[in-house]
């Protein structure tokens, strides 16, 4: 049962109906049962691991709080984090490390006999592990009280709308909302359904229509340079539409229950710098990395070079978190380099813009920065999407080859689309950009729509729903569901 399924919509409709039909004191039981049922439908074998991680984090949190000295609290926190990271490391990174050591041993003619292990990656382990780590650290720092109600804590750990791929929430924001008695509210229901429908729109009409085209190029043994360029740009659109759709559905579902999740995307492809991009893309992960990796690494550091090292390490962690492969490590390092280079050359670039008088046209200057940032992000995604380091470097070479960008080559590469698919994708992509434009001008597209005449609002809602039903295609789940 995935978010993009009739089964999930029926399941969630039953949850909402029951949630508002039972007393508040029993709602935690409903949400907990729903969360574990949903997780079991995705990964029944690892329900026990989720349960074990929950129990361990619950008692570790109370253990940290009971310690009398800061030193004792720190020891308890570090022990808890080490155990949680051991589970994550075993299931997600054992074979990555094992294969890397085996390759190095072969190169150095060492005797290394540890075999490959058939280890299945538990669904959502990266996400709930990060939530658990933030919970323990916040208790240690005095920002969060250890939760005594095991039921509410279990929901925080396994809340089904955001369990699979976030947003990565802090306990101090999410836990109190479970305890507040929510009443049936038309605005929450209406807004929630709109966000869910918009998530379905982006997933089925943008992301899943692009998926086979992108895969056709990246799985090809001999793609042309222009195909790599076009496929990489399309993959960036696919990845955004796919992941932001997942967040839209999660935010919509929780809002219908009266609970507010953190917005995870703010039109990242309109960022004017790499730093701005990471303030807009997967915002809850970016904030987590800032608060729990970058800030501790920078504590007491004053030299710019030391801060640059902290930046690179933070992005290295981001790359490793995204996947157990050297391609993700390289992707993280590329973004670390982007951030360091961008900071180091900030004043020089400002002088250059002034020299060529680009700063005299603020609007043009902004769009130039948006275009450059988008292309830098696209280049990094060559490594994100490629299946091996060798393929990544070859694809990167093709991406950077001047002839790959010739208009005639791009037009020829676009023949990957059938004419009908191109028209359908183009139409719905324009609609998505119109929504983005309204959002940039009015903060919220849905608020802006609510102020339009009833006929116009209903027409837009009907267009979204009918488009999904008639033209929507469904892939095999969400890209970030595999992390």
Cα–Cα distance, 344 to 337 (Å, whole number): 10
Domain boundary (161, 181, 201) is at 181
Please identify which of the residues 24, 149, 282, 322 carries the catalytic annotation: 322
Q: What's the longest Cα–Cα distance across the chain?
A: 74
Same domain, 413 and 342: yes
Same domain, 371 and 239: yes
Is 335 a member of any domain? yes
Contact 448, 438 (CB under 8 A): yes
Same domain, 428 and 461: yes
Is 150 a member of any domain? yes
The pLDDT of residue 91 is 86
Same domain, 216 and 120: no
Count of structural domains, the chain: 2
The pLDDT of residue 481 is 59
Cα–Cα distance, 132 to 129 (Å, whole number): 5
Same domain, 171 and 120: yes
Domain boundary (181, 205, 236) is at 181
The pLDDT of residue 483 is 58
Same domain, 25 and 141: yes
Same domain, 237 and 385: yes
The pLDDT of residue 344 is 87
Same domain, 251 and 172: no
- Ranges under pLDDT 50 in the chain: none
Same domain, 127 and 214: no
Is 474 a member of any domain? yes
Is 13 a member of any domain? no
Same domain, 174 and 249: no
Same domain, 249 and 143: no
pTM (2 d.p.): 0.91
Boundaries of domain holding 51: 21-181
The pLDDT of residue 202 is 94
Is 282 one of the annotated active-site residues of the chain? Answer: no
Same domain, 91 and 151: yes
Is 14 a member of any domain? no
Is 35 a member of any domain? yes
Is 38 a member of any domain? yes
Is 9 a member of any domain? no
Domain boundary (160, 181, 202) is at 181
């Amino acid at each position: 049962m995935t978010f993009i399924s009739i089964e999930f919509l029926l399941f969630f409709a039953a949850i909402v109906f029951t949630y508002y039909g039972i007393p508040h004191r029993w709602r935690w039981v409903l949400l907990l049962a729903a969360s574990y049922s949903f997780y079991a439908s995705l990964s029944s074998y690892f329900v026990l691991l989720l349960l074990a991680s929950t129990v361990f984090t619950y008692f570790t949190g109370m253990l940290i709080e009971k310690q009398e000295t800061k030193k004792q609290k720190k020891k308890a926190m570090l022990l808890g984090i080490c155990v949680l990271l051991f589970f994550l490391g075993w299931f997600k990174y054992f074979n990555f490390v094992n294969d890397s050591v085996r390759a190095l041993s072969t190169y150095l003619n060492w005797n290394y006999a540890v075999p490959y292990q058939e280890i299945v990656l538990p669904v959502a382990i990266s996400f709930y592990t990060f939530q658990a780590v933030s919970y323990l650290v916040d208790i240690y720092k005095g920002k969060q009280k250890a939760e005594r109600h095991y039921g509410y804590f279990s929901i925080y750990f396994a809340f089904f709308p955001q369990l699979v791929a976030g947003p990565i929430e802090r306990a101090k924001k999410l836990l109190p909302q479970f305890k507040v008695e929510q009443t049936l509210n038309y605005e929450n229901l209406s807004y929630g359904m709109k966000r869910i429908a918009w998530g379905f729109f982006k997933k089925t009409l943008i992301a899943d229509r692009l998926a086979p085209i992108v895969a056709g190029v990246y799985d090809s043994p001999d793609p042309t340079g222009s195909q790599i360029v076009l496929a990489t740009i399309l993959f960036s659109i696919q990845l955004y539409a796919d992941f932001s759709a997942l967040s839209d559905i999660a935010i919509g579902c929780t809002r219908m229950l009266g609970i507010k999740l953190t917005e995870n995307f703010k039109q990242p492809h309109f960022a004017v710098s790499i730093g701005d991009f990471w303030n807009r893309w997967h915002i809850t992960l970016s904030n987590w990395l800032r608060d729990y990796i970058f800030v501790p690494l920078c504590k007491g550091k004053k030299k710019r070079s030391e801060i640059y090292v902290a930046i690179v390490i933070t992005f290295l962690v981001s790359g490793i978190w995204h996947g157990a492969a050297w391609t993700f490590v390289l992707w993280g390092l590329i973004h670390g380099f982007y951030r360091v280079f961008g900071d180091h050359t900030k004043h020089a670039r400002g002088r250059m813009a002034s020299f060529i008088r680009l700063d005299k046209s603020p609007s043009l200057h902004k769009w130039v920065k948006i275009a450059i940032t988008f292309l830098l992000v696209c280049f990094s995604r060559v490594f994100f999407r490629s299946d091996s380091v060798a393929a990544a470097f070859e694809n990167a070479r093709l991406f950077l080859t001047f002839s790959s960008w010739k208009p005639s080559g791009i037009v020829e590469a676009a023949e990957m689309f059938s004419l009908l698919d191109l028209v359908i994708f183009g139409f719905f992509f324009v609609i998505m950009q119109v929504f983005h434009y309204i959002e940039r001008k009015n903060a919220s597209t849905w608020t802006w729509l609510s102020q339009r005449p009833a006929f116009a609002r209903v027409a837009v809602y009907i267009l979204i729903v009918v488009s999904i039903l008639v033209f929507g295609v469904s892939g095999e789940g969400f890209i970030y569901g595999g992390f």
